[in-house]
Structure formats: C-alpha cells, structure tokens
Structure 1
Amino acid sequence: MDLIALRTLHDRQLRIAAAPEGPGSRVERDGLVVRTTGPAHAWNGVLWSGLGPADADAAIAAQIAHFRAAERSFEWKLYGHDGPADLPGRLLAAGFVPDERETVMVAEARTVAAPVPLPDGVTLAAVTDEEGVRKVADVQARAFGADSSESAQRMLDQLAAAPGTIVAVLALADGVPVSSARLDLTPGTDFAGLYGGGTLAEWRGRGLYRALVAHRARLAVDRGYRYLQVDARDTSRPILARLGFAELTTTTPYLYEF
C-alpha cells in the first residue's frame, strides 16, 4: 500500500467530506475547519483542519465560540500529520485537555478476511435491535470500565436512521455475551471502520479479537469496501500489525469542556 496516498484519501473521504453520523447532527465547513454539531449524546467536534501558523489561533477561538453557543462540550480530533506543527501546544494553551493517543491503522480488507476459529461454545450474533445494542453496551462497559450509554444511543440512532451504515456483532459463550465489536460503513468511500472491539477480561487471549476483525473484514468485502481503518489503542496495535495492518498516522482527542 502507498501509505502517503492512502492517508490523503482517508483525509479526503472520511474527514473533509464526512457525512453526519445520525439524526440531528450536521457537518459544517468553517473556513479551513470541518466540524460536526449535533445532540448532546452525539459526537461533537472538529474532524479536520488545514491550518497554518497565521490562522490557527483564530480558528481555535472560533470553534470554541461556536460550541459554547451550541452548549456542547466538544473534541478536536487531532491527527499526527495535521498542521501547524505546534497545533497541540496551541490547543493546550486554549484550554483543551488531551486524551489517550491512538494509532490509525489500515489494511486491505481482503488480506485479513480469512476466518479465525472460535473457541468451543462461542458463536457470533448480529445486533439488529435495542436489546442487542444494550448487550453490546454492557460488554463495552465491563471491558473498558467506562460508561457506554452515549455510544449505545448513537448506535440506536444510526440503526434507526441508516441501518446499512453500521453492523454490530456479539460473541456469545453458551449464549452469554463476552465480546462485541462494530463495523461502520460510509457510503461512497473506500473505507470501512472497525470500532468498539471489547472482550471481557476472562475471555482475552483466546482469539476473539482476531475472529471479530476477520468477521468484519468479510462483511466489508461483501459490501464492496476495499480498506479497513481502525483507531488502535496500544493494547490492540500489536495484534493488528500481526494481522497485516499498517500504521497510517496517529490521532489524539483534545477535549474542551464547558
């Protein structure tokens, strides 16, 4: 893969030309900034910026003013190749707080779609209704130790408004949810996104993460998507690298709370 060309394609399709993620959300371009604004439970923030040293501070102040007027705390999703080089320091000076940095990784979907054997007694089930989403949210909360109610509501909104753009799956051990994951499908792009891969602690190390990656890769291929992309934590980055994913860039959420 030509990673520089792929990074440019990723920026153009998923950031600059981003689509609203659900009902009530809108994507707006404000000069050299692309942002999304929506309901309180939706993701609110800056998706892309093409700033330089001369205009960065004014653009940052404009986004703070916009989201203050909308009464929304928000995130500036900063990528490692975004300019200017001192943008992280400018965001800190403006009052943003950085969260955990992740690595954006990509792979040809076909190269990671080979089935991975599941442990005895484990089956995969598609999530299509509110009960399934609640099970996904429960697995996520237990796996990561964080509240997942807002992400669950976003999933429900997306399933209701655009069911063809999201696929969620549960791994069931004798009928009990032990792992879950999500595949986001953005129409008109080459990328399918892997999100929310979480496994209960007692089930880690048994191949469930790899199996869910392969399962979602096959779904992406079947729907005509060429690439998979994932914002990988340090815990999953080595696994993805062994599966054939390459590092494209990094991404760090800078949070601004009102």
Structure 2
Amino acid sequence: MDHAATLALFDRDLREGARPDGPGARVERTGAVVRQTAPAHGWNGVVWSALDETDADAAIAEQIAHFTRLGRGFEWKLYGHDLPVDLGQRLVAAGFTPEPEETLMICEVADLTLDTEPPGGVRVVPVTDRAGVGLVADVHEKAFGADASWLRRQLLDRLSADPGTVVAVLALAGDEPVGAARMELVPGTRFAGLWGGGTVRAWRGRGVYRALVAHRARVAAERGCRYLQVDASDQSRPILERLGFTPLTTTTPYVYAPVR
C-alpha cells in the first residue's frame, strides 16, 4: 500500500468529500472548512479543513458561532498532517478541549488476516432490530464507561433509514453480550470504517475484539470495499497491526461545548 497516496485518497473521499452519516444530517463546505450539522444526538463537527496562519482563527470562530446558534456542542476532528501546524493550540485557545489522541489505521481488505474465529463458546451475530441495538449500547456503556443513549438513537436511525450503510454486530457468550461493534460503509467510495469495537472487561484478552474486526472485514469484502479504516486507541492498535492494518497519521477530537 502506498501510504501517501492512500492518505490522500482518504482525505479526498472521506473528509473533503464527506457525506452525511445519518438521517437529518447535512454536510456543507464553508470557505476552507467542511462540516457536518446533524440532530442533537448525531455527530456534529468539522471533518476537513485547508487553513493556514492567516485564516485559521477566523474559521474557528465561524464554526463556533454556527454550532452555538444551534445550541450544540461539536467536535473538530484534527489529523496529524492538518495545517497550520499549530491548529490544535489555536483550537484550545478558542475554548476547545482535546480528547485522547488516536491513530488512523488503514488496510486493504485483501491483505487482512480474516480467518480469526471467536473464542470457544462465543458467536458473532448481526444486529437488525431495536432489541439488538439496545444490547449494542449496553455493551458500549460497560466497555467504555460512557453513556450510549446517543448511540441507541443514531444506530436506530441508520438501520431504519439506510440499513445498507451500517453493519452492527454482537458477540454473545451463550445469551450474554460480551462485545459489540459497528461498521459504516460510505457510498461512492471504496472505504468502510470500523467503529465502537468494545469488549466487556471480563472477556478482554480472549480474542473477542479480533473476531469482531475479522467478521466486519469479511462483510466489507463481500460488499466490494477495498479499504478499511479505524481510529485506533493505544489498546487496539497492536491488535490491528497484527491483523494487517497500517498506521498513517494521528487523529485527535477537539470538543467544544457551548456556554449555557
């Protein structure tokens, strides 16, 4: 894989050429910024920018004003190769809070190791209804220690309005949900994104996460996707590297909460 060419393709197709990621969302370009405005339970934020030292601060102020008018917090998704080089510092100065840095990892599906099976007694099943979505959200809350009410609504919206663009799965030990994940396919591109892969604490280190990645990768291959991308934490990066993913750059969410 040509790293520079793949990163450029990622920027072009998934960032500058971003598409709305759910019902009620819209993507628009305003100057040198591409942003998504979505319902309150959706993802609101900046996905791409082409700024420099002369226009960065004004662009930041414009996005703050836009989302504040709507009463919504939002995220500026900053990548390691974005300019200007001090954009992160400028965002902090404007009132954003950085969350933990992750690694953008991409692989060609054809190069992946896809024969990974779940550990004994565990099976991976698709999620297609409200009950399954509830279980996915429950696993998310147990795995990440964070409220997942937004995920319940967002995933239900996607499965109802455009089920061909999202794949959600559960790992079950008997009838007990022990892992969950989703994959988002982007129409008009060769990319699919892996999101939300989590395992409850008691089942970590047994291969559940690897099995969830392999399962989604097989689905991506069946649907003709060439590339898989994931924002990897420090915990998941080694697993993904062993499966065949390559780190290309970093990504850091900068979050702005409007003053109420």
Counterpart check, 1:226 vs 2:221? no
CA distance in 1, matches of 2:117, 2:46: 40
Q: Name the structure 1 match of 2:236.
A: 236
- Say which is worse superposed, 99-108 or 116-125, in terms of deviation: 116-125
State the AA in 1 paired with 2:137: A
Helix, strand or coil for the counterpart of 1:253? strand
Q: Give the C-alpha shift of residue 164 in structure 1.
A: 0.1
Counterpart check, 1:82 vs 2:48? no
CA distance in 1, matches of 2:120, 2:230: 28
Q: Which whole-Å deviations, capped at 9, do the CAs of 1:193-240 have from their partners, x for residues lacking one?
A: 111100011111111111111111110010000011000001001111
CA distance in 2, matches of 1:41, 1:103: 25
Q: Give the C-alpha shift of residue 113 in structure 1.
A: 4.8
Q: Which runs of at least 4 in structure 1 moved beyond 4 Å after TM superposition?
A: none
State the AA in 2 paired with 1:27: V
Q: Name the structure 2 match of 1:215.
A: 215
Q: Give the C-alpha shift of residue 114 in structure 1.
A: 2.1
Q: Name the structure 2 match of 1:117.
A: 117
Helix, strand or coil for the counterpart of 1:100? coil
Structure 1 stretches lacking a partner, 5+ long: none
CA distance in 2, matches of 1:113, 1:191: 18
Native 8 Å contact 1:113 1:215 kept in 2: no
Query: Aligned pairs, how many?
Result: 258
Q: Which whole-Å deviations, capped at 9, do the CAs of 1:113-147 have from their partners, x for residues lacking one?
A: 52213222211110001110000000010011111
Map 1:13-162 → 2, pairs under 5 A: 13-162=13-162
Q: CA RMSD in A?
A: 0.9
Structure 2 stretches lacking a partner, 5+ long: none
State the AA in 2 paired with 1:109: V
Q: Name the structure 1 match of 2:196.
A: 196
CA distance in 2, matches of 1:45, 1:183: 20
Q: Which whole-Å deviations, capped at 9, do the CAs of 1:74-130 have from their partners, x for residues lacking one?
A: 110101100001111111111111011110001111222522132222111100011
Native 8 Å contact 1:128 1:159 kept in 2: yes
Structure 1 length as normaliser, TM-score?
0.98
CA distance in 1, matches of 2:119, 2:162: 33
Counterpart check, 1:170 vs 2:174? no
Helix, strand or coil for the counterpart of 2:78? strand
Native 8 Å contact 1:115 1:215 kept in 2: no
Q: Which whole-Å deviations, capped at 9, do the CAs of 1:156-189 have from their partners, x for residues lacking one?
A: 1111111000000101101211111111111111
Native 8 Å contact 1:191 1:225 kept in 2: yes
